[in-house]
Amino acid sequence: MRKSIIRLIAAVAAFAFVLPLTGCLQPVSLDECGFVISIGVDRGKEKKFYYTFALQRPLSEQNVKDEGGAIALSSEGESIFEAINEMEGNVPYSLNFSRTNFLIFSRETAEAGDIEELVSTSFDALKIRTSAVILVSEGNASEFIGGMYANNDANISKLQSALMLDEKKTGMVTVMSVSRLLEACSDARFDYCSAYGVYDGDIVTDTEQKKSESEGKNPLEDVKIGDRAGGLKSSITGAAIFSGYKMTGVLTRYETMLLNMVTGAFRTGVVTFPYKDGDSTVSVLLSLKKRSISVNEDLTGEAAIMLTAAVHEKDASVPDDEIDAWLTGELAGIIADDMLRVFLKCRSADSDAMRFGTGAVKLFRSAEEWDAFSWKERYRDFLPEFRVTIENTDKYLNENMQ
Amino acid sequence: MKLRQGRIGLFAGTALAALSLFTCGVFSIDPKTAYANGNSTYLSLPLAVIISLSALIPAMLVLNWKRVGLNGLFTYAFGKVGGIVAAVILSVSFVWAAAKPMTEFLLVLTRLVYDGVPYMRIVLYILPVTVFIAWKGFESVGRLALIFSGLILISVAAAALSASPEFAAYRLYPLPSGNADFFKTAFSGSVFFLPPLAALLVNEEGLGGVKNVRKTLAAAAFISAAAIGLVQFALALIYPHRVLSGLLMPLYRINFLSLRQSYALRLDKLFIMVWLLGCVISCAYLIYSASYLLTKTFSARDVTPAVLTVSAAVFFLVTAEFSENYARAEAVGSFFSRFGSLFALIPPLLAAAVGSIKLKKESRL
Amino acid sequence: MKITDILGFDREKKAFELYERETGTPDPFAPWRDADGKSEEEPPFPNSVREAYELFEKSFNTDKNKDLILRRFLAGGRRGALAVYMNGMADDTKVNDFILRPLMTFDGASISLDELLKKTVRIGEVRRESSVKNVFLAVMDGMTALFLDGEREAAILETHGYEKRGIDAPENEKVVTGAKESFTESLRTNITLVRRLIHERDLVVETELTGGGGNTRLAIVYRDGVTNEALIGEVKRRLARIKTGGILTSGMLGQMIEDDKNSPLPQILSTERPDRAASHVMQGSVCLLVEGSPFALLMPVTFFSLMSSPEDVYLRKPLGTMLRLVRYFGAAASVLLPGYFLSLALYHQGILSTEVLSTVMASRMMVFEPIGVEMLLLLFIFQLIREAGQRVPGNIGQAIGIIGGLVMGQAAVTAHLASPVVLIIVAASGLGNFCIPDYSTQLAASYLRIAVVIAAWLGGLLGIAAAVLAAACHIAGLKSFGVPFLAPFAPRTSRKRPIVLRGDIGMHERPEDMMNTSFDGRLEDGE
């Protein structure tokens, strides 16, 4: 037989031999997957944890039934894998975590430090991206998840971007990912803080308003003065601060804003301050211009924050010619004092949420020296000075317009 | 003779060597040792490239005078048997440099991309292609490197730049102190950088002579040193050293920090496949170079049996990490991490020294 | 047979290289060194008209073969003569009016072949032939052979008069702005079409016969002194190697002289446009024109010349650039898009956005077959519609494309045989495939696409990476008459004009560096 034919037969035989060994790499078609967008973790009744998974619905099913964009699955388990096993036995698809964006922990589980168990053992196995955001909920995480999705919008991941928009627009929300948590806990240069939210079942959402309209009812008749109407039932009320993996305190939205200013995460936000005697108020648009922190060897330090301010609204009784002095003088002092208050709150909760550790590390030339320094313990004695300067951007405009 | 050397130009040669150096520099280093005491890799690894280049200069000078290939130099300096021993030792370093980045990629693919799939299935997608490319010869490998080097560079740059909003200077601290550890990393890093550079000397015929090899080596070394330095610097700005020491292939995860929900920021699996192309080309290049060196040393007329043999050795090393021989593989790995640079360094340096002495004696006579 | 025989250790086939280190020119039309040097024995030249008559009767079986006309007459009324021609191939009018009548009525003193050719035969192209084999070939080609009693040579007179197709517009290489002429089946016409475009003294057209029986007449067109001589010699050497009789088309000839016959990609460019052929010849390529085939073969060719269209140079630079970018993007999408989508759908769903995931999940809700089968089925149907549209002539063929696409696509979605998203992917990929100007390359791309889909089905992005790398390695190692297939990108050559983008028109004035022409040398001589 010709050499070329023998070679061809040998090549085909080798290919036929190798091909069954390769085989497929265990594909799972996307229509056989349930894509988990959010995971909620609560304390379980009979088992350790109660997990809630919010899944994205396929679009046409939602169009046909008009029941909303999310499906929630819940199950108990000693670990997330046990809960997944139980759930997958009862649904015609396998859970896919590659699109998981939110991990929501109840306050109880966060304060117990249960985040560590989920994050350190499960992520690589579940293929959850470490860009997923951690949230702590005041009440049950499963309730909070239910309040995150509006029934009239099929695309639930777009609704989740409301959190990001809140951060950008108001600066009163802190959004941090799992990778930051891992960095904080392994490197000990700072402590983690996550968004802190609450579920309010009394809020009349957009969908409920539409439904009651179609029933011929005034949709807002049950809404009292002081209650919020419209939007989602779940909302962010501040930040949860951590020491390692454990949650140790809660900050309000204003306190979160100050924290963001010191960490440099603040962009812009409008805050209403009392003017001098407290009877009048001024709403000021603040933007972060520059920020620096430093730590000295004697455990003192400084946080220098430069802000720009523009007055959005003020009471008529507030004189125009005093605004500039008030902004650059008194208001700067108020903010600096409030920052110190927030720092002390964090310190008492053993949380370096303001990230002074990232300044402390610059004092050292080697990793051994830094490890020996033990910033976590030294932080308890650390006391920085907060220096806030405010630049009135209105002043320039007003002068030039005259 | 069926040596499948062919001829490639300076662009292709530079792309080939630079790609191989980059693959080794970014994907082969052991994170535990590299980041144990702070992060100095953005300085020490480029230095390792320059040290490796400098170590080959004596051999290049002698080859320029003597006008033979590297195997010819070995035979000239050490005699026939000594030349064979030197060629085999150098080939072992090529095999190791080929296997290490491939092992890292395999680890990432089995643990992070195709979880639950037996490793052998993934190996059987990669290794036959590698062997095929090595078998096609130096010309094909060089041209493939030229074709894909731009794409690989762009994907690495895209991955690093898309993570740039997360860069923070505090992660660089503590800064490298230039102590003994720093230089130790620089020298031991040459275990990965010497083989791709020495392989160019082995293939000097395919590049059209030692003069071209000199230009190619210099260009490849400086380009890859800059690229490796920049990538390691980007990683240093993204992850502090303690996090880096526990990460498998940190460049793969560089986009995981981004909170923005954009298609462009979820392309890590696509990027790693592009980088895998570079790893396969680098591996094929080193397999071919080792095969060519052995074929010329043993005066065989066909490079195919050597390609198959060297590929089998690479295959064995790559799969050893995943088999029950894992402990032995680790032992071999730690041996090479410490002494592997000697395998790559000693044969050409010693041959250059002995060769230059002999040349001087001959010229006096 | 030993294992070593199978694995290697044999002598390497002589590979032709176009690099500077190659020296010497192979003898044109020399037999291949391994070939059997024996050639068919030629009958002796007939001494008389009677012998010639009997020779033709016997050789052409004139009792069965009535096409051959053997006309005996007396030249000048005194000397025996024989005119031989093929009915239908030779022009009867020319034979009667310009050969037979003048010869019969010749009244000169000396009736010799020389005298007759100088004074009476009113035909432009005349040559003398002493080889019987060449006389036979000439008669079969439509020439008239004239024998005279006692002469040791025959006169071959040009009397072509067969029916041939007129010059039409190109069917496969349509351009919006540009020439609308295409080659025909007549070799003479095709040569004329090229000569009309190239007014250079160095343009050489060598017409020869090739094939085992010398049955195929072809013309080798090149620029003497510009085209690399080693290339010309190699082309001739490969043509001389052909022993197969009965070559009818340029496609078959091209396959016989290619470097790698097993490669799906062509290493010879086949074109029906004279302007394209002329452009390549000006740049130093060799052009083969084959009798009976309306396609010219151009060599060497690279991947980038297969991807370029004549329209590129007819348009302005920005428009030509955009067109080329769209074309390359379309070609890449045609090969990679279905496989990429399949790999994301099966293995790497996290890359897709939630909206796409949700839409695809919903669209596949009632589709019963796996997504890989669905993709392959749609690709197969697309190929069926394409082939059916090409085979059916005229307007019906166009309608089949529309009906097949719209109706079948819609029906498939309604019957839950396919999902809309996958249908769109396949359609986009098909359109991208049509962007490729060269038909053979289009087909190669469409089959490579199927290989990529299967690789994606088996291994996701890893499978695609392996398939792409293997294909790229094959292409990188491919050569076309010594020129690497991916030149001038890999290897890089000295070249001013961009590879993918359309450069300035002025950049086309010099041949490419990879062609190793003598152009630069001639410029230095002051020409």
Half-sphere exposure of C421 (CA within 13 A, CB side): 18
Same domain, C227 and C81: no
- Name which of C474, A340, C122, A391 is nearest B140 in CA terms: C474
Strand order in the sheet with C296-299: C203-210, C216-223, C286-290, C296-299, C269-271
Write the residue in A21, A101, A369 that is nearest to B120 by C-beta: A21
Residue numbers in B near A130 (CB within 8 A):
253, 256-257
Write the residue in B117, B177, B246 that is nearest to A366 by C-beta: B177
Q: Is residue B4 part of a domain?
A: no
* C80 vs A327: CA distance, rounded Å: 127
Written as one letter, the residue type at C155 is: A
Same domain, A134 and A187: yes
Same domain, C111 and C212: no
Same domain, A37 and A164: yes
Same domain, C363 and C473: yes
* B117 vs A398: CA distance, rounded Å: 68
Same domain, A288 and A347: yes
> Is A366 close to B258, i.e. CB distance below 8 A?
no
- Upstream peptide bond of C102 is cis (omega within 30 degrees of 0): no
Torsion, Cα C426 C429 C434 C435, to 10 degrees, reads 160
Same domain, C191 and C138: no
Q: Is residue B97 part of a domain?
A: yes
Q: Is residue A57 part of a domain?
A: yes
Does the CB of C326 have a partner CB in chain B at under 8 Å? no
Which of the two residues, B102 and C407, has the higher pLDDT score?
B102
Q: Which domain holds residue B116?
A: 10-356
Does the CB of C459 have a partner CB in chain A at under 8 Å? yes
Same domain, A215 and A332: no
Q: Is residue A182 part of a domain?
A: yes
Residue-level pLDDT at C162: 77
- Could you identify the residue written with the tokens 């983008």? C501
- Name which of C295, C45, C341 is nearest C171 in CA terms: C295
Same domain, A239 and A316: no
Q: Is residue A4 part of a domain?
A: no
- As given in the structure block, the two tokens for residue B179 are 């102590």
pLDDT at residue A205 tops 70: yes
Please compute Rg for chain A using Cα positions.
Answer: 27
Residue numbers in A near C358 (CB within 8 A):
56-59, 154-155
Residue-level pLDDT at C310: 80
Query: DSSP labels for C159-225?
Result: -B----PPP---SSS--SSS------S-HHHHHHHHHHH---TTEEEEEEEESTTS-EEEEEEEETT
pLDDT at residue B178 tops 80: no
Same domain, A186 and A260: yes
Render pLDDT for B21-53 as a digit per residue (tens, 0 to 9): 999 888 888 777 778 777 888 888 899 999 889
* C512 vs C523: CA distance, rounded Å: 15
Q: Is residue C138 part of a domain?
A: yes
Q: Give the domain CATH number at A332.
A: 3.30.300.210
Same domain, C207 and C349: no
Q: Is residue C491 part of a domain?
A: no
- As given in the structure block, the two tokens for residue B56 are 């080959």
> Is B270 close to C351, i.e. CB distance below 8 A?
yes
Residue numbers in C near B276 (CB within 8 A):
462, 465
> Is C8 close to B125, i.e. CB distance below 8 A?
no
Q: Is residue B5 part of a domain?
A: no
Query: For chain C, how many structural domains are there in total?
Result: 3
Residue numbers in A near C359 (CB within 8 A):
59
Query: For chain A, how many structural domains are there in total?
Result: 2
Establish, for the pair of chains A and B, how many residue pairs have beta carbons separated by less than 8 Å: 84
- As given in the structure block, the two tokens for residue B32 are 């535990």
* C423 vs C415: CA distance, rounded Å: 13
Which of the two residues, A282 and B339, has the higher pLDDT score?
A282
First to last CA, chain C: 59
Half-sphere exposure of C239 (CA within 13 A, CB side): 29
Residue-level pLDDT at C8: 39
* B259 vs B265: CA distance, rounded Å: 9
* B334 vs B329: CA distance, rounded Å: 9
Q: Is residue A133 part of a domain?
A: yes
- The stretches of C74-123 forming alpha helices (DSSP H) are 92-94, 101-104, 113-119
- Residue B25 three-state SS: helix
Residue-level pLDDT at A60: 65
- As given in the structure block, the two tokens for residue C460 are 């996701």
Residue-level pLDDT at A67: 55
Q: Is residue A13 part of a domain?
A: no
Does the CB of A21 have a partner CB in chain B at under 8 Å? yes
The answer to whether the beta carbons of residues C359 and C421 sit under 8 Å apart is yes
> pLDDT tens digits for chain C (527 residues)?
554 444 433 444 444 444 433 334 444 444 333 334 445 567 889 989 999 999 999 888 888 888 899 999 998 888 899 999 988 888 889 899 999 999 998 888 888 888 888 888 888 889 999 989 889 988 988 899 999 998 999 999 999 887 778 888 888 888 888 888 899 998 888 999 999 998 888 899 988 777 655 667 889 999 988 898 889 989 988 888 887 766 668 888 888 889 888 899 999 999 999 999 998 999 889 999 998 899 999 999 999 999 988 888 888 888 888 989 999 999 999 999 999 999 999 999 988 888 888 888 888 888 888 999 999 999 998 888 888 877 877 667 667 776 777 778 888 888 888 898 999 999 999 989 988 988 899 999 999 999 999 999 999 999 999 999 999 999 999 999 988 999 888 778 776 677 788 777 776 666 777 777 776 544 444 33
Residue-level pLDDT at C522: 45
Same domain, C231 and C354: no
Q: Is residue C241 part of a domain?
A: yes
The residues pairing with B2 across neighbouring beta strands, listed in sequence order, are B302
Residue-level pLDDT at A382: 92
> Is B143 close to C470, i.e. CB distance below 8 A?
no
Looking at residues A17-23, what average pLDDT do you find?
61
Q: Is residue B1 part of a domain?
A: no
Helix axes B119-136, B70-108, angle to 10 degrees: 150
DSSP class of residue C404 equals: I
Residue-level pLDDT at A154: 56
Q: Which domain holds residue A286?
A: 269-402
Same domain, A347 and A257: no
Looking at residues A239-259, what average pLDDT do you find?
94
CA distance C468 to chain B (A): 9
* C2 vs B108: CA distance, rounded Å: 42
pLDDT at residue A156 tops 70: no
pLDDT bin (cut points 50, 70, 90) of residue B157 is very high
Q: Give the domain CATH number at B306.
A: 1.20.1740.10
Does the CB of A17 have a partner CB in chain B at under 8 Å? no
Q: Which domain holds residue C101?
A: 49-157
Residue-level pLDDT at A241: 95
* B57 vs B68: CA distance, rounded Å: 15
What are chain C's partners, defined as 3 or more CB pairs within 8 angstroms? A, B
Q: Which residues 8-27 of C have a C-beta within 8 angstroms of B?
A: 8-10, 12, 19
Report the mean per-residue pLDDT for chain A: 84
- As given in the structure block, the two tokens for residue B260 are 């923005």
Q: Is residue B365 part of a domain?
A: no
Domain-ending residue, one of A217, A246, A266: A266
Same domain, C334 and C297: no
Q: Which helix (H) or strand (E) holds A271?
A: strand A268-275
Q: Is residue A14 part of a domain?
A: no
Same domain, C339 and C276: no
pLDDT at residue A104 tops 90: yes
Same domain, C296 and C413: no
The answer to whether the beta carbons of residues B87 and B293 sit under 8 Å apart is yes
Query: For chain B, how many structural domains are there in total?
Result: 1
Q: Is residue B201 part of a domain?
A: yes
Same domain, C475 and C340: yes
The answer to whether the beta carbons of residues C76 and C106 sit under 8 Å apart is yes
Q: Is residue A8 part of a domain?
A: no
Establish, for the pair of chains B and C, how many residue pairs have beta carbons separated by less than 8 Å: 101
Q: Is residue C449 part of a domain?
A: yes
* C9 vs A327: CA distance, rounded Å: 89
Q: Is residue C489 part of a domain?
A: no
- As given in the structure block, the two tokens for residue B348 are 């050409």
Which of the two residues, B207 and B64, has the higher pLDDT score?
B207
- As given in the structure block, the two tokens for residue A158 are 């777009």
What are chain A's partners, defined as 3 or more CB pairs within 8 angstroms? B, C
Q: Exposed/middle/buried for C153, CB within 10 Å: 0-12, 13-18, 19+?
A: middle
Does the CB of A11 have a partner CB in chain C at under 8 Å? no
- As given in the structure block, the two tokens for residue C41 are 């024995």
Cα–Cα distance list, C99 to B219, C85, C87 (Å): 75, 12, 15
> Is C484 close to B148, i.e. CB distance below 8 A?
no
Residue-level pLDDT at C475: 94
Pairing of strands C154-157, C126-129: antiparallel
Give the pTM: 0.86
Does the CB of A381 have a partner CB in chain C at under 8 Å? no
- As given in the structure block, the two tokens for residue C466 are 């392996």
Which of the two residues, A246 and B341, has the higher pLDDT score?
A246
CA distance B163 to chain C (A): 17
* B143 vs B150: CA distance, rounded Å: 12
> Is C492 close to B12, i.e. CB distance below 8 A?
yes
Domain-ending residue, one of A266, A297, A329: A266
Report the mean per-residue pLDDT for chain B: 87
* Prediction ipTM score: 0.92
* C301 vs C269: CA distance, rounded Å: 6
Region of poorest pLDDT, from A12-26, A244-258, A364-378: A12-26
* C498 vs C507: CA distance, rounded Å: 9
Spell out a b/e string for C423-446, using b for 16 or more CB atoms within 10 Å of the CB, else e: bebbebbbebbebbbbebbbbbbb
> Is A6 close to C6, i.e. CB distance below 8 A?
yes
Residue-level pLDDT at A160: 67
Q: Which residues 79-138 of A have a C-beta within 8 angstroms of B?
A: 101, 124-125, 127, 129-131, 133
* A65 vs A71: CA distance, rounded Å: 13
Residue numbers in B near A187 (CB within 8 A):
240, 242-243
Q: Is residue C128 part of a domain?
A: yes
Spell out a b/e string for B11-42, using b for 16 or more CB atoms within 10 Å of the CB, else e: bbbbbbbbbbbbbbbbbbbebebbbbbbbbbb
Same domain, A132 and A200: yes
Does the CB of B325 have a partner CB in chain A at under 8 Å? no
- Residue A306 three-state SS: strand
Domain-ending residue, one of A266, A298, A333: A266
The answer to whether the beta carbons of residues A132 and A100 sit under 8 Å apart is yes
Q: Exposed/middle/buried for B261, CB within 10 Å: 0-12, 13-18, 19+?
A: middle
Which of the two residues, B153 and B7, has the higher pLDDT score?
B153
What are chain B's partners, defined as 3 or more CB pairs within 8 angstroms? A, C
The answer to whether the beta carbons of residues A126 and A35 sit under 8 Å apart is no
Q: Is residue A7 part of a domain?
A: no
* A182 vs C45: CA distance, rounded Å: 98
pLDDT at residue B150 tops 90: yes
* A179 vs A156: CA distance, rounded Å: 23
Phi/psi for A307 (5° steps) reads -120, 155
